[in-house]
Structure 1
Protein backbone atom coordinates (compact mmCIF):
# COMPACT_ATOMS: atom_id res chain seq x y z
CA UNK A 1 0.00 0.00 0.00
CA UNK A 2 1.25 3.45 -0.91
CA UNK A 3 0.68 5.52 2.22
CA UNK A 4 1.58 8.78 0.44
CA UNK A 5 4.28 9.66 2.94
CA UNK A 6 7.02 10.44 0.44
CA UNK A 7 9.23 13.31 1.63
CA UNK A 8 7.05 13.88 4.72
CA UNK A 9 9.07 15.09 7.71
CA UNK A 10 8.20 12.87 10.67
CA UNK A 11 9.78 13.31 14.12
CA UNK A 12 10.40 10.09 16.04
CA UNK A 13 11.63 10.55 19.60
CA UNK A 14 13.79 7.72 20.85
CA UNK A 15 14.08 6.67 17.22
CA UNK A 16 17.53 5.08 17.29
CA UNK A 17 16.71 1.76 18.95
CA UNK A 18 13.93 -0.70 19.70
CA UNK A 19 10.41 0.32 18.75
CA UNK A 20 11.60 3.75 17.62
CA UNK A 21 14.12 2.19 15.25
CA UNK A 22 11.37 0.01 13.80
CA UNK A 23 9.20 3.08 13.21
CA UNK A 24 12.07 4.98 11.58
CA UNK A 25 12.83 2.08 9.22
CA UNK A 26 9.21 1.64 8.13
CA UNK A 27 8.88 5.39 7.56
CA UNK A 28 12.04 5.39 5.45
CA UNK A 29 10.73 2.44 3.46
CA UNK A 30 7.61 4.50 2.70
CA UNK A 31 9.75 7.34 1.38
CA UNK A 32 9.27 9.63 4.36
CA UNK A 33 12.15 11.50 5.98
CA UNK A 34 12.20 10.36 9.62
CA UNK A 35 13.94 12.66 12.08
CA UNK A 36 15.43 10.76 15.01
CA UNK A 37 15.46 12.76 18.25
CA UNK A 38 17.42 11.11 21.04
CA UNK A 39 20.15 11.59 23.59
CA UNK A 40 22.85 9.36 22.07
CA UNK A 41 24.46 10.87 18.98
CA UNK A 42 26.35 7.67 18.18
CA UNK A 43 23.17 5.59 18.13
CA UNK A 44 21.30 8.24 16.14
CA UNK A 45 24.06 8.49 13.55
CA UNK A 46 24.47 4.74 13.17
CA UNK A 47 20.86 4.44 12.02
CA UNK A 48 21.07 7.50 9.76
CA UNK A 49 24.18 6.05 8.12
CA UNK A 50 22.55 2.63 7.75
CA UNK A 51 19.58 4.15 5.95
CA UNK A 52 21.86 6.29 3.76
CA UNK A 53 23.56 3.12 2.49
CA UNK A 54 20.11 2.05 1.30
CA UNK A 55 19.60 5.44 -0.39
CA UNK A 56 16.97 6.40 2.17
CA UNK A 57 16.80 9.86 3.72
CA UNK A 58 16.76 10.58 7.44
CA UNK A 59 18.07 13.13 9.90
CA UNK A 60 19.01 13.17 13.56
CA UNK A 61 18.97 15.67 16.41
CA UNK A 62 20.71 15.06 19.71
CA UNK A 63 18.47 15.98 22.65
CA UNK A 64 18.05 14.95 26.26
CA UNK A 65 14.27 15.07 26.22
CA UNK A 66 13.92 15.14 30.00
CA UNK A 67 15.32 18.69 29.69
CA UNK A 68 12.47 21.03 28.64
CA UNK A 69 14.84 23.40 26.84
CA UNK A 70 16.20 20.53 24.75
CA UNK A 71 12.69 19.75 23.48
CA UNK A 72 12.28 23.29 22.14
CA UNK A 73 15.78 23.30 20.67
CA UNK A 74 15.13 20.01 18.88
CA UNK A 75 12.00 21.33 17.17
CA UNK A 76 13.76 24.59 16.29
CA UNK A 77 16.63 22.64 14.70
CA UNK A 78 14.21 20.55 12.63
CA UNK A 79 12.32 23.63 11.45
CA UNK A 80 15.59 25.34 10.52
CA UNK A 81 16.59 22.30 8.45
CA UNK A 82 13.26 21.45 6.77
CA UNK A 83 10.88 24.39 7.44
CA UNK A 84 8.03 21.92 8.01
CA UNK A 85 6.86 19.05 10.20
CA UNK A 86 4.28 16.58 8.91
CA UNK A 87 4.02 14.23 11.87
CA UNK A 88 5.20 13.54 15.40
CA UNK A 89 5.75 10.17 17.04
CA UNK A 90 6.24 10.50 20.79
CA UNK A 91 8.03 7.28 21.66
CA UNK A 92 11.00 7.86 23.97
CA UNK A 93 10.78 6.49 27.49
CA UNK A 94 11.87 3.76 29.88
CA UNK A 95 10.21 1.58 32.50
CA UNK A 96 12.42 2.74 35.33
CA UNK A 97 10.82 0.93 38.27
CA UNK A 98 10.01 3.89 40.52
CA UNK A 99 7.58 2.22 42.93
CA UNK A 100 5.20 3.49 45.59
CA UNK A 101 6.85 1.65 48.46
CA UNK A 102 10.48 2.28 47.59
CA UNK A 103 10.30 5.40 45.42
CA UNK A 104 10.52 9.05 46.40
CA UNK A 105 9.42 12.45 45.15
CA UNK A 106 12.59 13.26 43.24
CA UNK A 107 12.70 9.96 41.36
CA UNK A 108 8.97 10.05 40.67
CA UNK A 109 9.17 13.51 39.15
CA UNK A 110 12.30 12.64 37.17
CA UNK A 111 10.47 9.64 35.72
CA UNK A 112 7.54 11.80 34.66
CA UNK A 113 10.00 14.04 32.80
CA UNK A 114 11.63 11.02 31.16
CA UNK A 115 8.34 9.40 30.17
CA UNK A 116 5.53 11.92 29.81
CA UNK A 117 6.45 15.61 30.11
CA UNK A 118 8.41 15.60 26.86
CA UNK A 119 5.38 14.15 25.06
CA UNK A 120 3.57 17.38 25.92
CA UNK A 121 6.55 19.61 25.16
CA UNK A 122 7.36 18.07 21.77
CA UNK A 123 3.73 18.35 20.70
CA UNK A 124 3.49 21.90 22.06
CA UNK A 125 6.57 23.11 20.17
CA UNK A 126 5.73 21.21 16.97
CA UNK A 127 2.10 22.36 16.92
CA UNK A 128 2.52 25.54 14.82
CA UNK A 129 4.13 23.47 12.06
CA UNK A 130 1.59 20.64 12.41
CA UNK A 131 -1.26 23.14 12.05
CA UNK A 132 0.17 24.23 8.70
CA UNK A 133 0.65 20.68 7.43
CA UNK A 134 -2.45 19.19 9.09
CA UNK A 135 -0.06 16.56 10.34
CA UNK A 136 -0.74 13.71 12.74
CA UNK A 137 0.49 12.77 16.21
CA UNK A 138 0.99 9.23 17.48
CA UNK A 139 1.80 8.66 21.14
CA UNK A 140 3.41 5.31 21.90
CA UNK A 141 2.08 4.06 25.23
CA UNK A 142 2.06 0.89 27.34
CA UNK A 143 -0.46 -1.61 28.65
CA UNK A 144 0.92 -0.87 32.14
CA UNK A 145 -1.53 2.05 32.39
CA UNK A 146 -4.44 -0.38 31.97
CA UNK A 147 -3.23 -3.57 33.63
CA UNK A 148 -0.77 -2.36 36.25
CA UNK A 149 2.50 -4.18 36.73
CA UNK A 150 3.65 -3.57 40.28
CA UNK A 151 6.65 -1.55 41.47
CA UNK A 152 6.48 0.96 38.64
CA UNK A 153 4.18 3.76 39.79
CA UNK A 154 5.88 6.53 37.84
CA UNK A 155 5.89 4.63 34.55
CA UNK A 156 2.24 3.62 35.01
CA UNK A 157 1.30 7.22 35.77
CA UNK A 158 3.20 8.43 32.72
CA UNK A 159 1.41 6.01 30.42
CA UNK A 160 -1.94 6.88 31.92
CA UNK A 161 -1.05 10.48 31.14
CA UNK A 162 -0.04 9.60 27.59
CA UNK A 163 -3.42 7.97 27.02
CA UNK A 164 -5.33 10.87 28.54
CA UNK A 165 -3.36 13.43 26.53
CA UNK A 166 -4.12 11.49 23.35
CA UNK A 167 -7.85 11.90 23.87
CA UNK A 168 -7.51 15.49 25.08
CA UNK A 169 -5.39 16.57 22.13
CA UNK A 170 -7.66 14.77 19.67
CA UNK A 171 -10.50 17.01 20.88
CA UNK A 172 -8.48 20.22 21.10
CA UNK A 173 -6.94 19.80 17.65
CA UNK A 174 -10.07 18.82 15.74
CA UNK A 175 -10.42 22.37 14.46
CA UNK A 176 -7.00 22.12 12.80
CA UNK A 177 -7.59 18.74 11.17
CA UNK A 178 -4.81 17.22 13.26
CA UNK A 179 -5.43 13.59 14.21
CA UNK A 180 -4.03 12.18 17.46
CA UNK A 181 -3.90 8.50 18.34
CA UNK A 182 -2.01 6.23 20.71
CA UNK A 183 -0.36 2.89 20.01
CA UNK A 184 -0.48 0.65 23.09
CA UNK A 185 2.40 -1.80 23.45
CA UNK A 186 2.20 -4.91 25.64
CA UNK A 187 5.06 -7.35 25.17
CA UNK A 188 7.60 -6.36 22.51
CA UNK A 189 11.13 -7.75 22.47
CA UNK A 190 13.49 -4.78 22.31
CA UNK A 191 17.11 -4.30 23.48
CA UNK A 192 15.77 -2.78 26.73
CA UNK A 193 13.45 -5.74 27.24
CA UNK A 194 16.31 -8.15 26.64
CA UNK A 195 18.46 -6.26 29.14
CA UNK A 196 15.69 -6.56 31.75
CA UNK A 197 15.09 -10.27 31.09
CA UNK A 198 18.77 -11.00 31.62
CA UNK A 199 18.62 -9.54 35.14
CA UNK A 200 16.19 -12.28 36.22
CA UNK A 201 17.28 -15.58 37.82
CA UNK A 202 15.97 -17.77 34.96
CA UNK A 203 15.68 -15.51 31.89
CA UNK A 204 15.00 -18.22 29.29
CA UNK A 205 12.26 -19.85 31.38
CA UNK A 206 10.69 -16.49 32.22
CA UNK A 207 10.66 -15.48 28.56
CA UNK A 208 8.98 -18.76 27.66
CA UNK A 209 6.31 -18.17 30.32
CA UNK A 210 5.65 -14.64 29.04
CA UNK A 211 5.32 -15.86 25.46
CA UNK A 212 2.85 -18.53 26.58
CA UNK A 213 0.56 -15.81 27.97
CA UNK A 214 0.31 -13.97 24.63
CA UNK A 215 -2.82 -15.36 22.93
CA UNK A 216 -1.94 -14.92 19.25
CA UNK A 217 0.81 -17.37 18.30
CA UNK A 218 2.31 -17.32 21.81
CA UNK A 219 4.99 -14.85 20.81
CA UNK A 220 5.93 -11.26 21.40
CA UNK A 221 4.96 -8.47 19.08
CA UNK A 222 7.82 -7.33 16.85
CA UNK A 223 8.97 -3.73 16.59
CA UNK A 224 8.08 -3.85 12.89
CA UNK A 225 4.49 -4.88 13.65
CA UNK A 226 4.12 -1.93 15.99
CA UNK A 227 5.81 0.35 13.47
CA UNK A 228 3.45 -0.71 10.69
CA UNK A 229 0.45 0.48 12.71
CA UNK A 230 2.17 3.71 13.79
CA UNK A 231 2.99 4.58 10.19
CA UNK A 232 -0.55 3.73 9.08
CA UNK A 233 -1.90 6.11 11.75
CA UNK A 234 0.41 8.86 10.48
CA UNK A 235 -0.85 8.43 6.94
CA UNK A 236 -3.94 9.62 5.09
CA UNK A 237 -5.02 5.97 4.87
CA UNK A 238 -6.30 6.47 8.45
CA UNK A 239 -7.83 9.85 7.65
CA UNK A 240 -10.92 9.42 9.86
CA UNK A 241 -9.22 7.86 12.88
CA UNK A 242 -8.52 10.06 15.87
CA UNK A 243 -8.60 9.82 19.66
CA UNK A 244 -8.05 6.06 19.58
CA UNK A 245 -5.95 3.85 21.87
CA UNK A 246 -4.98 1.06 19.51
CA UNK A 247 -3.51 -2.15 20.90
CA UNK A 248 -1.02 -4.09 18.81
CA UNK A 249 -0.37 -6.86 21.30
CA UNK A 250 -1.50 -10.25 20.00
CA UNK A 251 -4.61 -9.98 22.18
CA UNK A 252 -2.59 -9.73 25.40
CA UNK A 253 -4.65 -7.05 27.16
CA UNK A 254 -8.23 -7.81 26.18
CA UNK A 255 -8.74 -11.46 25.30
CA UNK A 256 -10.19 -13.85 27.86
CA UNK A 257 -7.48 -15.52 29.94
CA UNK A 258 -9.39 -18.83 29.74
CA UNK A 259 -8.25 -19.29 26.15
CA UNK A 260 -4.74 -19.93 27.42
CA UNK A 261 -5.96 -23.32 28.65
CA UNK A 262 -7.07 -24.42 25.18
Structure 2
Protein backbone atom coordinates (compact mmCIF):
# COMPACT_ATOMS: atom_id res chain seq x y z
CA UNK A 1 0.00 0.00 0.00
CA UNK A 2 1.33 3.43 -0.95
CA UNK A 3 0.78 5.62 2.10
CA UNK A 4 1.62 8.78 0.15
CA UNK A 5 4.30 9.78 2.65
CA UNK A 6 6.89 10.51 -0.01
CA UNK A 7 8.64 13.79 0.74
CA UNK A 8 6.98 14.16 4.14
CA UNK A 9 9.27 15.32 6.94
CA UNK A 10 8.57 13.35 10.13
CA UNK A 11 10.28 13.94 13.48
CA UNK A 12 10.88 10.76 15.50
CA UNK A 13 12.14 11.17 19.05
CA UNK A 14 14.28 8.32 20.29
CA UNK A 15 14.62 7.35 16.65
CA UNK A 16 18.06 5.77 16.86
CA UNK A 17 17.17 2.60 18.74
CA UNK A 18 14.45 0.02 19.28
CA UNK A 19 10.94 1.00 18.28
CA UNK A 20 12.12 4.42 17.11
CA UNK A 21 14.64 2.83 14.75
CA UNK A 22 11.94 0.54 13.39
CA UNK A 23 9.69 3.54 12.76
CA UNK A 24 12.43 5.48 10.98
CA UNK A 25 13.25 2.53 8.70
CA UNK A 26 9.61 2.03 7.70
CA UNK A 27 9.11 5.76 7.09
CA UNK A 28 12.24 5.94 4.95
CA UNK A 29 11.06 2.92 2.98
CA UNK A 30 7.80 4.79 2.32
CA UNK A 31 9.80 7.68 0.86
CA UNK A 32 9.39 9.97 3.87
CA UNK A 33 12.25 11.87 5.49
CA UNK A 34 12.54 10.77 9.12
CA UNK A 35 14.40 13.22 11.33
CA UNK A 36 15.93 11.28 14.19
CA UNK A 37 16.10 13.05 17.54
CA UNK A 38 18.40 11.22 19.95
CA UNK A 39 20.77 11.98 22.78
CA UNK A 40 23.68 9.85 21.55
CA UNK A 41 25.63 11.11 18.55
CA UNK A 42 27.16 7.70 17.78
CA UNK A 43 23.77 5.96 17.82
CA UNK A 44 22.31 8.67 15.60
CA UNK A 45 25.11 8.29 13.08
CA UNK A 46 24.76 4.50 13.07
CA UNK A 47 21.02 4.71 12.40
CA UNK A 48 21.52 7.23 9.61
CA UNK A 49 24.10 4.94 7.98
CA UNK A 50 21.74 1.95 8.27
CA UNK A 51 18.86 3.82 6.62
CA UNK A 52 21.13 5.11 3.86
CA UNK A 53 22.42 1.58 3.24
CA UNK A 54 18.79 0.63 2.51
CA UNK A 55 18.56 3.48 -0.03
CA UNK A 56 16.50 5.63 2.31
CA UNK A 57 16.98 9.23 3.35
CA UNK A 58 17.12 10.58 6.89
CA UNK A 59 18.67 13.27 9.05
CA UNK A 60 19.48 13.36 12.72
CA UNK A 61 19.70 15.93 15.49
CA UNK A 62 21.51 15.20 18.73
CA UNK A 63 19.53 16.55 21.66
CA UNK A 64 18.79 15.78 25.30
CA UNK A 65 15.02 16.04 25.50
CA UNK A 66 14.92 16.26 29.28
CA UNK A 67 16.32 19.76 28.66
CA UNK A 68 13.46 22.02 27.49
CA UNK A 69 15.87 24.24 25.56
CA UNK A 70 17.02 21.21 23.55
CA UNK A 71 13.41 20.44 22.63
CA UNK A 72 12.99 23.90 21.16
CA UNK A 73 16.36 23.74 19.39
CA UNK A 74 15.56 20.31 17.93
CA UNK A 75 12.41 21.62 16.26
CA UNK A 76 14.20 24.69 14.93
CA UNK A 77 17.04 22.55 13.58
CA UNK A 78 14.59 20.11 11.98
CA UNK A 79 12.85 22.98 10.23
CA UNK A 80 16.19 24.33 9.02
CA UNK A 81 17.15 20.91 7.67
CA UNK A 82 13.89 19.92 5.99
CA UNK A 83 12.08 23.22 5.45
CA UNK A 84 8.84 21.76 6.80
CA UNK A 85 7.43 19.44 9.48
CA UNK A 86 4.59 17.13 8.47
CA UNK A 87 4.45 14.82 11.44
CA UNK A 88 5.71 14.16 14.95
CA UNK A 89 6.26 10.78 16.57
CA UNK A 90 6.80 11.12 20.32
CA UNK A 91 8.61 7.91 21.20
CA UNK A 92 11.60 8.59 23.46
CA UNK A 93 11.43 7.28 27.01
CA UNK A 94 12.58 4.61 29.41
CA UNK A 95 10.95 2.33 31.96
CA UNK A 96 13.27 3.42 34.75
CA UNK A 97 11.78 1.60 37.72
CA UNK A 98 10.85 4.54 39.94
CA UNK A 99 8.35 2.91 42.27
CA UNK A 100 6.25 4.10 45.19
CA UNK A 101 8.01 2.31 48.02
CA UNK A 102 11.55 2.78 46.77
CA UNK A 103 11.23 6.06 44.86
CA UNK A 104 11.45 9.68 45.94
CA UNK A 105 10.40 13.12 44.75
CA UNK A 106 13.54 13.84 42.75
CA UNK A 107 13.57 10.50 40.91
CA UNK A 108 9.82 10.70 40.24
CA UNK A 109 10.08 14.17 38.74
CA UNK A 110 13.17 13.24 36.73
CA UNK A 111 11.26 10.29 35.26
CA UNK A 112 8.37 12.53 34.24
CA UNK A 113 10.87 14.66 32.33
CA UNK A 114 12.34 11.56 30.67
CA UNK A 115 8.97 10.14 29.72
CA UNK A 116 6.25 12.78 29.50
CA UNK A 117 7.26 16.43 29.61
CA UNK A 118 9.12 16.36 26.30
CA UNK A 119 6.03 14.87 24.60
CA UNK A 120 4.26 18.13 25.44
CA UNK A 121 7.18 20.39 24.55
CA UNK A 122 7.96 18.75 21.21
CA UNK A 123 4.30 19.00 20.18
CA UNK A 124 4.07 22.61 21.29
CA UNK A 125 7.21 23.70 19.43
CA UNK A 126 6.22 21.75 16.30
CA UNK A 127 2.64 23.00 16.34
CA UNK A 128 3.03 26.05 14.04
CA UNK A 129 4.40 23.80 11.28
CA UNK A 130 1.86 21.05 11.92
CA UNK A 131 -0.93 23.63 11.63
CA UNK A 132 0.51 24.89 8.37
CA UNK A 133 0.74 21.40 6.86
CA UNK A 134 -2.23 19.72 8.60
CA UNK A 135 0.25 17.25 10.03
CA UNK A 136 -0.30 14.37 12.41
CA UNK A 137 0.99 13.43 15.84
CA UNK A 138 1.53 9.86 17.01
CA UNK A 139 2.39 9.23 20.67
CA UNK A 140 3.96 5.91 21.60
CA UNK A 141 2.60 4.60 24.88
CA UNK A 142 2.80 1.55 27.11
CA UNK A 143 0.29 -0.90 28.56
CA UNK A 144 1.63 -0.02 32.03
CA UNK A 145 -0.86 2.86 32.18
CA UNK A 146 -3.72 0.37 31.98
CA UNK A 147 -2.41 -2.84 33.52
CA UNK A 148 0.11 -1.68 36.10
CA UNK A 149 3.44 -3.42 36.44
CA UNK A 150 4.80 -2.79 39.92
CA UNK A 151 7.76 -0.64 40.95
CA UNK A 152 7.32 1.75 38.05
CA UNK A 153 5.02 4.49 39.33
CA UNK A 154 6.64 7.30 37.37
CA UNK A 155 6.65 5.43 34.06
CA UNK A 156 3.05 4.30 34.53
CA UNK A 157 2.02 7.86 35.41
CA UNK A 158 3.84 9.18 32.35
CA UNK A 159 2.04 6.74 30.10
CA UNK A 160 -1.29 7.64 31.64
CA UNK A 161 -0.37 11.22 30.80
CA UNK A 162 0.53 10.27 27.22
CA UNK A 163 -2.89 8.67 26.79
CA UNK A 164 -4.66 11.69 28.24
CA UNK A 165 -2.67 14.12 26.10
CA UNK A 166 -3.51 12.10 22.98
CA UNK A 167 -7.22 12.58 23.63
CA UNK A 168 -6.83 16.18 24.79
CA UNK A 169 -4.77 17.26 21.78
CA UNK A 170 -7.12 15.45 19.40
CA UNK A 171 -9.89 17.71 20.72
CA UNK A 172 -7.86 20.93 20.84
CA UNK A 173 -6.42 20.48 17.35
CA UNK A 174 -9.61 19.44 15.54
CA UNK A 175 -10.03 22.95 14.18
CA UNK A 176 -6.66 22.70 12.42
CA UNK A 177 -7.29 19.29 10.89
CA UNK A 178 -4.43 17.85 12.93
CA UNK A 179 -5.01 14.23 13.91
CA UNK A 180 -3.52 12.85 17.13
CA UNK A 181 -3.38 9.15 17.97
CA UNK A 182 -1.37 6.80 20.15
CA UNK A 183 0.11 3.37 19.56
CA UNK A 184 0.19 1.37 22.79
CA UNK A 185 2.97 -1.20 23.16
CA UNK A 186 2.90 -4.22 25.46
CA UNK A 187 5.67 -6.77 24.86
CA UNK A 188 8.04 -5.71 22.07
CA UNK A 189 11.53 -7.18 21.93
CA UNK A 190 13.75 -4.11 21.78
CA UNK A 191 17.43 -3.89 22.83
CA UNK A 192 16.28 -2.33 26.11
CA UNK A 193 13.87 -5.23 26.67
CA UNK A 194 16.62 -7.73 25.92
CA UNK A 195 18.86 -6.04 28.52
CA UNK A 196 16.07 -6.33 31.08
CA UNK A 197 15.45 -10.01 30.31
CA UNK A 198 19.15 -10.76 30.84
CA UNK A 199 18.94 -9.52 34.43
CA UNK A 200 17.06 -12.71 35.36
CA UNK A 201 18.85 -15.90 36.43
CA UNK A 202 17.14 -17.87 33.65
CA UNK A 203 16.36 -15.31 30.92
CA UNK A 204 15.11 -17.81 28.33
CA UNK A 205 12.61 -19.27 30.80
CA UNK A 206 11.49 -15.78 31.82
CA UNK A 207 10.98 -14.77 28.20
CA UNK A 208 8.96 -17.92 27.51
CA UNK A 209 6.75 -17.26 30.53
CA UNK A 210 5.94 -13.87 29.01
CA UNK A 211 5.38 -14.96 25.41
CA UNK A 212 3.16 -17.81 26.59
CA UNK A 213 0.76 -15.12 27.86
CA UNK A 214 0.56 -13.24 24.53
CA UNK A 215 -2.68 -14.55 22.96
CA UNK A 216 -1.92 -14.05 19.27
CA UNK A 217 0.88 -16.38 18.25
CA UNK A 218 2.47 -16.56 21.71
CA UNK A 219 5.25 -14.28 20.51
CA UNK A 220 6.57 -10.78 21.04
CA UNK A 221 5.39 -7.89 18.91
CA UNK A 222 8.08 -6.78 16.45
CA UNK A 223 9.37 -3.24 16.08
CA UNK A 224 8.29 -3.36 12.44
CA UNK A 225 4.69 -4.16 13.40
CA UNK A 226 4.60 -1.10 15.65
CA UNK A 227 6.23 0.97 12.90
CA UNK A 228 3.70 -0.01 10.23
CA UNK A 229 0.83 1.17 12.44
CA UNK A 230 2.63 4.45 13.12
CA UNK A 231 3.18 5.04 9.41
CA UNK A 232 -0.50 4.33 8.73
CA UNK A 233 -1.60 6.81 11.40
CA UNK A 234 0.71 9.48 9.97
CA UNK A 235 -0.72 8.97 6.51
CA UNK A 236 -3.87 10.16 4.77
CA UNK A 237 -5.03 6.54 4.69
CA UNK A 238 -6.16 7.09 8.30
CA UNK A 239 -7.75 10.44 7.47
CA UNK A 240 -10.79 10.02 9.76
CA UNK A 241 -8.94 8.53 12.74
CA UNK A 242 -8.10 10.75 15.70
CA UNK A 243 -8.01 10.50 19.48
CA UNK A 244 -7.47 6.73 19.36
CA UNK A 245 -5.32 4.55 21.59
CA UNK A 246 -4.44 1.65 19.30
CA UNK A 247 -2.95 -1.44 20.92
CA UNK A 248 -0.50 -3.32 18.72
CA UNK A 249 0.15 -6.11 21.18
CA UNK A 250 -1.21 -9.44 19.97
CA UNK A 251 -4.17 -9.04 22.31
CA UNK A 252 -1.98 -8.92 25.42
CA UNK A 253 -3.69 -6.00 27.14
CA UNK A 254 -7.35 -6.80 26.53
CA UNK A 255 -7.75 -10.49 25.74
CA UNK A 256 -7.84 -13.17 28.41
CA UNK A 257 -4.24 -14.27 28.92
CA UNK A 258 -5.50 -17.62 30.17
CA UNK A 259 -6.18 -18.47 26.54
CA UNK A 260 -4.22 -21.52 25.54
**Fold shared, TM-score > 0.5 on shorter chain:** yes
**Equivalent residue for 2:137?**
137
**Once the two structures are superposed, what CA deviation does each residue of 1:30-68 show, in whole Å capped at 9, x if it has no partner?**
000000001001111111112222321100000000111
1:210 aligns to what? 210
Quick check: 1:236 aligned with 2:236?
yes
Look up the SS of the partner of 1:213 in the other structure.
Answer: coil
User: How far apart, in 1, do the equivalents of 2:145 and 2:136 lie?
Assistant: 23
After superposition, give the CA deviation of every residue in 1:174-225 in whole Å (9 maximum; x if it has no partner).
0000000000000000000000010112111000100000000000000000
> How many residues get paired?
260
CA distance in 1, matches of 2:95, 2:131: 32
Task: Report the counterpart of residue 178 of structure 1 in structure 2.
Answer: 178
- Aligned counterparts of 1:257 and 1:209: Cα–Cα separation in 2: 12
How does 1:13-24 map onto structure 2 within 5 Å? 13-24=13-24
> Is 186-195 or 50-59 further displaced after alignment?
50-59
Q: Which residue of 1 aligns with 2:193?
A: 193
Aligned to 1:112, what secondary structure does the other structure show?
Answer: helix
Q: Distance in 2 between matches of 1:43 and 1:164?
A: 31
Partner Cα distance (1:252, 1:54) in 2: 32
Tell me which residue corresponds to 2:2. Answer: 2
Distance 1:258 1:57 in 2: 44
Structure 1 residue ranges, 4+ long, deviating more than 3 angstroms after superposition: none
Distance 2:28 2:172 in 1: 30
SS in 2 for 1:131: helix
Q: Name the counterpart of 2:249.
A: 249
Separation of aligned partners in 1, 2:10 and 2:126: 11
| Structure 2 counterpart SS, 1:47 | helix
Distance between the aligned counterparts of 2:52 and 2:151, measured in 1?
Answer: 41
Q: Give the TM-score taking structure 2 as reference length.
A: 0.99
Identify the residue that residue 45 of structure 1 maps to in structure 2: 45
CA contact (8 A) 2:213 2:258 kept: no
Q: Alignment partner of 2:138: what SS?
A: strand
Between the aligned partners of 1:54 and 1:5, the Cα distance in structure 2 is 17
1:54 maps to 2:57: no
Partner of 1:157: 157
In the TM superposition, residue 80 of structure 1 has moved relative to its aligned partner by: 1.3
Say what the alpha-carbon RMSD is for the aligned residues. 0.7
Between 107-116 and 74-83, report the one with greater CA deviation: 74-83
Q: CA deviation at 1:78?
A: 0.7
* TM-score, length basis structure 1: 0.98
Does residue 110 in structure 1 map to residue 114 in structure 2?
Answer: no
Give 1:82 deviation, angstroms.
1.7
Give how far 1:257 is off: 3.0
After superposition, give the CA deviation of every residue in 1:133-172 in whole Å (9 maximum; x if it has no partner): 0000000000000000000000000000000000000000
Deviations along 1:220-251, whole A, 9 cap, x unmatched?
Answer: 00000000000000000000000000000000
Q: Unaligned stretches of 5+ in structure 1?
A: none
